[in-house]
Amino acid sequence: MEQPPVARRKPVARTHHGDTVEDPYAWMADRGAVEFVDHLALENAWAAQQTAPLQGLADDVFEEFRSRIEETDLSVPVRHDRWWYYTRTVEGEQYAVEARVLVADHPDRPALTEGRPPAGEQVLLDQNAEAQGQEFFGVGASEVSPAGDLLAYSVDLAGDERYDVRVRRIDTGELLDDAVRRTGGSLAFSLDGRHLFYTRVDDAWRPHQVWRHELGTPSEQDVLVHDEPDERFFVGVGTSRDDRWVVIAIGSKTTSEYRLVDASTPLDEPRVVAPRRQGVEYDVEPFGDQLLVVHNAQRVNFELALAPVTCTSVDEWQPLDLTGDDEFVTGAEGFDDFIAVTLRRAGGTGIRIVLRDADAPNGLGEAHDVSFGEPVHTVHVGANPESSTPTIQVVHESLVTPRTVEDYDVRSRTFTLLKQQHVRGGHDLARYRQRREWATAADGTRIPISVVHRDDVEPDGTAPGLLHGYGAYGISSDPWFSVLRLSLLDRGWVFAVAHVRGGSEMGRSWYDDGKLEHKPHTWGDFVACADHLVDGGIVARDRLAAEGGSAGGLLMGVVANEAPDRFAFVHASVPFVDPLTTILDPSMPLTVIEWEEWGNPLEDPEAYRLMKSYSPYENVRPQRYPSLLVTTSLNDTRVYATEPAKWVAALRHALEGVDDARPLLFRTEMAGGHGGQSGRYDTWRQWAWETAVLIDQTTGHPRPDADPPAPA
């Protein structure tokens, strides 16, 4: 191919609020059309041709990834009832194996012996066997029945997040039931294991119903348990820690409601914990005869309350006053002897332990925060299925500390190490440095940035850098460890995470200040972070790259349009880059439920005007863009491949008259979903190729310095 593909232009007019827009690539909305699929194939061929010289680099990076990873490995076994449950991986196999062994045979936590599984292992689900002959394989849920004899699991064979349900007898592997198809993925057993609750999706791919299925019967006989008519709300279903309750969660972006079904009487009607009230969000954790309720009825940053498990009204919520106004409560878990509260404070994550005290008026006594040694880290509560435990499993990591799983004794306040992710290859992790920087946005708001690099990288304005961003839905981009990232750090790169508004890093108001009419704060913050890194000499002005996916891909599209001079390279993954077209169509995914995030441009002319002002597709212009890599998946149902395809076509058209235009590459996984390919080796190869393009377009081909000189 001598030139990149040129998409056919066939303008289609749309008019809203007196504004008529002609969309030349509206025909791409038909993702199953031969012309569209053929166009994606041509773009893939162009990307492959243009990056063929990088294959050696991509292969090197892949082997670097692989050399650091324990390919045969075992998760931390978790005890539940008579069993230790775990997952394990095998070198050369794409997927995990879920299994268990009897506690009676292994009084201590089981481990691999020279790579072999523990003696007496009972395989629950061998995903490799299930995935045989499939281009894509994903598990939505995997649930063991309360009696421990059945496994129900849901599988996606296309990447479209629509799951078929299978139920097997664990001891024999016999398939007992596969009648339920095309579900939303979540599952819950009744206490006797005879009934299975699951969700259905509507034409807009919204989980909107909960159904009950009796094992061994046709799905046509299934019973509708809950039907959610309000298109702003998604539904999900699960069970409580003690298996006593089937929990139905119903939520929009700003409002929630929970319903409980006694798992011992699964034919009963669900009982509402507290009727939904616009703007009030809450979450419930059943334990014993009580409910822990995390809610924002009186406090923006949420608070914790106690209620009887029979609760039917917010009036029954008893405040516990365990957190302050500046602490954002994100969850709570109840155990026999204590409560674990997860929270955010000053841009970081934390866990607060509250001991039970039978003599106290509210049954709770002394509280303390679990202490970790790193100022920049991420911590969360791990898997703790037993309510009687005197310890709690906690998981923490940072940009320089591999994922670490420990048992924390809540009374002695001591840790027992269970497992730390092993980095093979003799890497000295002490050679990497992390810290928190603060940028200043245009309105004076201080924006946190998490930064990591090797200790021989000086802030002299010469280092290449990669700035990661997301900033939507209140999802925080907390620091995480990545063995894959070491391939950049060992080449002298700086990696940074911009904690922009739209996430919840600094509390709930951080999210509120990056949505709806405040959405432009997200990209303003990101550009401010980029400028801070450059102005401080942390990265080179001409060697700064940016990456973001999904809603973070929207961020990438906006900064590519509005600040093209800030970045040498931008990678937009499964990017939400045609948001106005999508949000104007209520039949599409990411529409009605998204109005509380972005605004409703159908009814609100100001929301329409604002979205049109920043939509990447609507604002493509003839200018010198950064080098661009755009990646997507054909079967993605969260952000249709239509969006990046239209954006790339518009970019190619605009760049026709631009001198010295930089490369634009577009690659589609033809058998993948929102997260790309499913097998781990396929995923690593995908990441290796993307990393090779990043390195090439930002710095050329320097090899890693695996043995850096000692600092002076």
pLDDT at 701: 60
636 is catalytic: yes
Q: Which of 483, 488, 480 is nearest to 463 (CA)?
A: 488
Q: pLDDT tens for residues 257-271?
A: 999 999 999 999 999
Distance from C-alpha of 701 to C-alpha of 607, rounded to nearest angstrom: 45
SS3 letters across 638-673: CCCCHHHHHHHHHHHHHHCCCCCCCCEEEEEECCCE
Residue 695's pLDDT band (boundaries 50, 70, 90)? very high
Give 581-586's long-range contacts (Cβ < 8 A, gap of 24+): 581/14, 581/23, 581/26, 581/617, 581/643, 582/640, 582/643, 583/611, 584/14, 584/16, 586/204, 586/231
674 is catalytic: yes
The number of angstroms, rounded, from the C-alpha of 638 to the middle of its chain's C-alpha atoms is 12
* Residue 175, SS3 per DSSP: strand
pLDDT at 375: 86
Considering the candidates 550, 627, 633, 678, report the single residue annotated as catalytic.
550
Q: Is the pLDDT of residue 399 over 90?
A: yes
Distance from C-alpha of 62 to C-alpha of 51, rounded to nearest angstrom: 15
Longest dimension (CA), the chain: 80
Q: Is the pLDDT of residue 703 over 80?
A: no
Q: Is the pLDDT of residue 712 over 60?
A: no
Q: pLDDT tens for residues 137-191?
A: 999 999 999 999 999 999 999 999 999 999 999 999 999 999 999 999 999 999 9
Q: pLDDT tens for residues 332-376?
A: 999 999 999 999 999 999 999 999 999 998 889 999 999 998 889
Altogether, the residues listed in the chain come to a count of: 712
pLDDT at 708: 41
Tokens describing residue 629: 């890599």
Q: Is the pLDDT of residue 580 over 80?
A: yes
CB 22 within 8 A of CB 11: yes
Considering the candidates 156, 478, 636, 696, report the single residue annotated as catalytic.
636
pLDDT at 588: 84
Question: What mean pLDDT do residues 199-217 have?
Answer: 95
Which residues are within 8 A (CB) of 132 and not within 5 positions of it... i.e. 6 or more apart?
none
pLDDT at 203: 86
pLDDT at 494: 98
Distance from C-alpha of 401 to C-alpha of 415, rounded to nearest angstrom: 16
CB 578 within 8 A of CB 647: yes
453 is catalytic: no
Query: Which residue bears the tokens 């994922």?
Result: 403
pLDDT at 706: 44
301-424: CATH topology is: Methylamine Dehydrogenase; Chain H (2.130.10)
Q: Which of 677, 678, 680 is nearest to 93 (CA)?
A: 680
CB 302 within 8 A of CB 330: yes
- The CB-side HSE value for 285 (13 A sphere, CA atoms) comes to 20
Q: Which of 120, 69, 75, 112 is nearest to 91 (CA)?
A: 69
CA distances from 476 to 52, 379, 479, 480 (A): 36, 13, 9, 11
Q: Is the pLDDT of residue 90 over 70?
A: yes
- Written as one letter, the residue type at 586 is P
- Mean pLDDT for the chain overall: 96
Distance from C-alpha of 363 to C-alpha of 348, rounded to nearest angstrom: 29
Q: pLDDT tens for residues 465-482?
A: 999 999 999 999 999 999
* Residue 625, SS3 per DSSP: coil
Query: Which residue bears the tokens 């930064």?
Result: 451
Q: State the DSSP string of 357-418.
A: -TTSTTSEEEEEEPP-S-SS-EEEE-----TT-SEEEEEEE-SSS--EEEEEETTTTEEEEE
Decide the pairing of beta strands 318-319 and 328-334: unpaired
Tokens describing residue 461: 């304005």
Tokens describing residue 443: 């309105």
Considering the candidates 106, 226, 468, 674, report the single residue annotated as catalytic.
674
Which residues are within 8 A (CB) of 651 and not within 5 positions of it... i.e. 6 or more apart?
620, 625, 628, 664
pLDDT at 657: 87
Q: pLDDT tens for residues 537-557?
A: 999 999 999 999 999 999 999
Q: Is the pLDDT of residue 691 over 80?
A: yes
Q: pLDDT tens for residues 54-85?
A: 999 999 999 999 999 999 999 999 999 999 99
Compute the radius of gyration of the chain from its Cα atoms.
26
CA distances from 115 to 90, 106, 119, 360 (A): 8, 17, 12, 50
Q: State the DSSP string of 96-126.
A: -EEEEEETTT-SSPP--BTTBPPTT-EEEEE
Question: What mean pLDDT do residues 223-248 have?
Answer: 97
The percentage of residues in the chain with a pLDDT greater than 70, rounded to a whole number, is 98
Residue 709's pLDDT band (boundaries 50, 70, 90)? very low
- Per domain, the residue ranges of the chain are 301-424
pLDDT at 705: 59
pLDDT at 711: 36
